[in-house]
Amino acid sequence: MKREVIKIILFLVVAILIFYGYAKLKRKAKKIIIGLAGDTMLARLVNKKMDLVGYTYVWGNVLPILKKNDINLINLINLETTLTKSEKKVPKVFNFKATPNKVQALKEANIRIVNLANNHMLDFYYEGLLETLQTLDNAKIKHIGAGANIHQARKPIIIEKNGINIGFIGYTDYPLNWKATENKPGTNVIKIGDIEQIKKDIKEVREKVDLLIMSIHWGPNKRQRPTKEFQKFAHEIIDAGIDIIHGHSAHIFQGIQLYKNRLILYDTGDFVDDYRVGPEIRNDWSFLFQVTIDKTGIKKLTLIPLFIDNMQVNIATGKEKENIIKHMQKLSRELGTQIGDNLEIKIDKK
DSSP string, 70-99: GGGEEEEEEE-SEE-------SSS---EE-
Give the list of residues 6+ apart from residue 295 with CB closer than 8 angstroms, or none: 27, 28, 30, 163, 164, 210
Pairing outcome for strands 186-187 and 256-259? unpaired
Walk along the chain (350 residues) and give the pLDDT tens digit of each residue: 556 656 666 666 555 655 555 455 444 469 999 999 999 999 999 999 999 999 999 999 999 999 986 778 999 999 999 999 999 999 999 999 999 999 999 999 999 999 999 999 999 999 999 999 999 999 999 999 999 999 999 999 999 999 999 999 999 999 999 999 999 999 999 999 999 999 999 999 999 999 999 999 999 999 999 999 999 999 999 999 999 999 999 999 999 999 999 999 999 999 999 999 988 899 999 999 999 999 999 999 999 999 999 999 999 999 999 999 999 999 999 999 999 999 999 997 65
pLDDT of residue 278: 84
pLDDT of residue 29: 60
Give the list of residues 6+ apart from residue 198 with CB closer than 8 angstroms, or none: 171, 190, 214, 237, 240, 242
Give the list of residues 6+ apart from residue 54 with CB closer than 8 angstroms, or none: none
How many Å apart are CA 4 and CA 18, to the nearest integer?
Answer: 21
Coil, strand, or helix at residue 176? helix
Burial class (CB in 10 A: 0-12, 13-18, 19+), 211: buried
pLDDT of residue 25: 46
Pairing outcome for strands 285-294 and 297-309? antiparallel
Contact 186, 142 (CB under 8 A): no
**Of 106, 238, 246, 105, which is closest to residue 168 (Cα–Cα)?**
246
Residues 299, 305, 309, CA angle at the centre, nearest 5°?
145
Buried b (16+ CB within 10 A) or exposed e, 228-252: eebbebbbebbebbbbbbbbbbbbb
Pairing outcome for strands 297-309 and 262-265? unpaired
Top CATH class of 31-346 equals alpha beta
* Backbone φ and ψ of 222, nearest 5°: 65, 15
pLDDT of residue 90: 97
Task: Dump strand ranges (E) for the chain.
Answer: 32-40, 73-79, 82-83, 97-98, 111-115, 142-144, 146-147, 157-161, 164-172, 186-187, 211-217, 244-248, 256-259, 262-265, 270-272, 285-294, 297-309, 312-315, 344-346
10: left (phi over 0), alpha (psi -120 to 50) or beta: alpha
How many Å apart are CA 56 and CA 175, to the nearest integer?
Answer: 32
pLDDT of residue 68: 87
pLDDT of residue 87: 97
pLDDT of residue 16: 65
Contact 287, 268 (CB under 8 A): yes
**Of 243, 274, 236, 280, which is closest to residue 258 (Cα–Cα)?**
243
